[in-house]
Structure 1
Amino acid sequence: MAFVASAGPANDPVPLIAEKALWIRRRSFRMVYEAQLGHPGGDFSAADILATLYFGVLRFDPKNPRDPGRDRFVMSKGHCTGAFYSVLSAAGYFPDAELDTYMQPMSKLNGHPNRNYLPGVETNTGPLGHGLPVATGIAVAGQIDYADFRTFVLTGDGELQEGSNWEAALTAGHRKLENLTLIIDRNRLQQGARTEETATLDPLDDKWRAFGWHVEVIDGHDHRALYETLRASPKGRGKPLCVIANTFKGKGVSFMHDNVAWHHGVPNKDQYEQAMRELV
C-alpha cells in the first residue's frame, strides 16, 4: 500500500501539489482541445482539489487498485473527466499516452468514468447525484467492518439540486460517518446559469450542519488549506465532514475565469494557445 500523504514537515507535499495542479490544467485542456469535447471550466475548478487528494492525502497503490485497505475516492461530478483522467494518469494508474485517446471511438477514456475500463475508478458516474449516495454506502460498509480506510467524494454545487444527495446526507449524519468526507466544488456556476439563479443553495454551510455534518469552508484553490483540511484525522470527530471549497470555473485562464460559457465550451486554436501561455 502506498501512502501518498507526507510523513511530516520535512516532506511538505504542497509544492508538488501545486506543480501537479498546473499540469492537470494544461493536460486536460490539451485533451479537450484535441477532442473538441469536454467540460474544461469544471476541470479547472477541480484541479487543485484533485491534485491535493492524489498527491497529499489519499492512501492508494496504483499497482494494486483494488487493495482492500485503500482509501476510496468517488468523482461524483463525472463529466469533468479531463481533470480526473489526468490525475489518475499522473498518479500512476495508466500511462500518459492513454490520455491521447480521450473521447476517441473505442477509447477507455470516454465522457464519463467507467470502472470497467479504467483502474482507479471506484464507481461509474456522470448522472449527477449518484456519487454521494454510493460513497455513503462505502463508508457504511467501512464502519460496519471497523476498517480504517477513508472515503472521499467530490461533487459539483449544481449537482446538489438532486434530492438523492440529501437522502445520503441524512443517512451519513445519522450514522455519524466520520470516515466520510464530502468536498463540494463550489464554483457557483452550472450549465447555463449561476446556481443561485437556478435553485438557491445558500446558506449551504448551515444546511449541511443541520444534517449532522461538520463543515469547513475554505478557498478551493489554496493548496495549503486543502491539504491541512483534508489530511486531518477524522478520529473522534463523530460526524461526516463537508468541505465547501470555494472555487472559480475556468480558474487560471483569463477568458474562462468565472464564465458559464466554459462549462462545456471547447477552445479554438487561438484560445488554446492563449490558455497555454497563461497556464505557467
Structure 2
Amino acid sequence: MKLFVEVELSSDEIPLATELFRTLRALTEHVKIRDVGKLFQSLIWRLEDGTQLDRVSNEVATLLTDSPEMAMQTLEEFQGAFVAVVFNHDLVLRQKSVVPFMYLLPRLPDHAKSRMRDFLIPKVLKHLTVKRPVEASRMEFFAHAEAFAALVNLEFVSINGAITTIITLLRKPETRCAAVTMLGKTVELCLQQLTEKCNSKTLQELNTALQSVTEDAFQYDINYIEESMSWSRPLHGMGGLHDLPSSGSLSTHGDLNKGLTMDSSSTSSGMLRKWQHQI
C-alpha cells in the first residue's frame, strides 16, 4: 500500500520546511519537493541579513541532501535560484553587495560545492568577457565582477589564475572596462592574497598592463588599485598620487559608468582601504 501526503507551505513557513523534510526523510527516501527553486530563492534572499548564514546554509544543505534519483535535479534548481538572486539587477540598483550570498558556497555539501564552482566560474567569466565599449555602463556587469573577486577570496579561483585572466582582458579595449572593475574588486576583497600568494612575475605583468590603461574613465579605479598595491605611476602617466588633490578630502562623486568613489575617511597610512561605488 502506498500513502501519498502533500503539504503546501506559504512563504513565511519556509523556515519550517527543512525540519519537515528532515522528519519525512527519516521515515522514507521517497520524498519529492515541488517548486524547490522558489524555496531555494527564498532561502538565498535571506542572506542579505548576514546573521542568517548559519541557518540558511543548514537548510540549503538539507534540501540538497536528496534521494540519488533527485539529487541532480535539485542541484540544478539550486544553481538556477542562486544566479537568479545574486545577479538580480535590483541588487545593483540598491547598491547591495553580492558577497554575503557568495559566503554560502563553501558551506555547501562537498558534491554541491564542486559542481557549483564548475557551474559558476564559466558563467561569470562569459558575462565579463562580452565585448563592450570603454565607456560601458558598469551596472551591466558590476555584480559579476564582485562575484569573480569573491570566488578568488574563497579560493574557488586561484589568485594567479585570476590575475592572469585580468591581464589578458586589460590588454583588449573591448574588455578593459570589465577588467578594471574586476581588478578593483579583487584588490578590495583579496589584497592579502595578492600580496602574499600571487607570483611576483605575475604581479609585475599586471603592473605593466595597468600602466597602459590611460583612459580618463578609469582614473579613480587606477588611483585606488595603485595606492592599495603601493605602486606608483610614471610622472607622464595618468592618475598617480601626484594628480590627487592636496586638500584633506579625496571624495569624488561619480557613478559606475565613470568610476569609483574614494573617501578620505577610508585612508590609512597612505593606503585607500575602501572601494566604494555610486550609481
Q: TM-score range by the shorter chain?
A: 0.3 to 0.5
More strand by share: 1
Q: TM-score, normalised by structure 2?
A: 0.33
* Structure showing greater Rg: 2
Q: More relative contact order in 1 or in 2 (CA 8 Å, sep 6+)?
A: 1
Structure with the bigger percentage of helix: 2
What is the TM-score of this pair, normalised by structure 1? 0.33
